Chains A and B, each alone.
Chain A
Amino acid sequence: KAGVTQTPRYLIKTRGQQVTLSCSPISGHRSVSWYQQTPGQGLQFLFEYFSETQRNKGNFPGRFSGRQFSNSRSEMNVSTLELGDSALYLCASSLTGGPQETQYFGPGTRLLVL
């Protein structure tokens, strides 16, 4: 079974631009979560989607948004990029998102904002 895939793996953008990251979950998994990893703040939860609905959201500004498609693939968008948005963005999937389920992570998209 293929794992979680994320595209692109690396991105370089400039301040003020916007960016879209993509995540394909493990086949059969319907819950997709996104996390931001930085050296200063560590791993922080962004949001979670299930059946195209956002069920949970972390403490991030409205510039961070996401969506999920009917095939469970998910995208996240960051508008008006700031230098502090430079990070590794990780996507994780699980069957239904229950608290006892294992979340399987993708390799991440490394975003550099100049």
Chain B
Amino acid sequence: GDSVTQMEGPVTLSEEAFLTINCTYTATGYPSLFWYVQYPGEGLQLLLKATKADDKGSNKGFEATYRKETTSFHLEKGSVQVSDSAVYFCALSYSGGYNKLIFGAGTRLAVHP
């Protein structure tokens, strides 16, 4: 079945460092891919998405490119801030049903001044 694998955390970085969080997926069909972020005590917020191969999603300095050949959707940011500290989830929309997201395990990011 469809699944998402993302790098285990926690990831600890200094402010202004470069961030990469790896995400790979297994899916039948052509899913849409998403990155969501969860801040402590809150629900999930959409960070960015891509709906077809080679699309690049971007938001707030974060970017991810839908790579069909490597089945990947890695999240990157050139210069992280303390306020980026959160848990990041990679997800795909399940091709076999409506409004069903399949999530990775999440990666906790801690950014220190």
A interface residues, Cβ below 8 angstroms from B: 4, 31, 33, 35, 42-43, 45, 48, 50, 55-56, 58, 90, 92, 94, 97-108
Contacts and interface: CB of A to CB of B under 8 A. Distances in A.
Report the contact-size class of chain B (Cβ under 8 Å from the partner). 20 to 34
Contacts of B91: 43
B60 to A, nearest CB: 15
Contacts, number: 71
A84 B98 CA distance: 27
Interface stretch (B7-15, B16-24, B45-53, B71-79): B45-53
Given A90-B43, A90-B44, A100-B51, A42 B103 contact: yes
B111 interface: no
Contacts of A103: 46, 99, 101
A48 B46 contact: no
B97 A55 contact: yes
Contacts of A50: 98-99
Interface of B: 31-32, 34, 36, 42-46, 49, 51, 89, 91, 93-95, 97-106
Given A48-B99, A50-B98, A100 B93 contact: yes
Contact of A56 (B45, B97, B103): B97
Contacts of B36: 105
Given A42-B103, A105-B45, 9 more contacts: A42-B105, A43-B103, A56-B99, A97-B98, A97-B99, A100-B32, A102-B46, A103-B101, A107-B43
B65 to A, nearest CB: 17
A90 B101 CA distance: 12
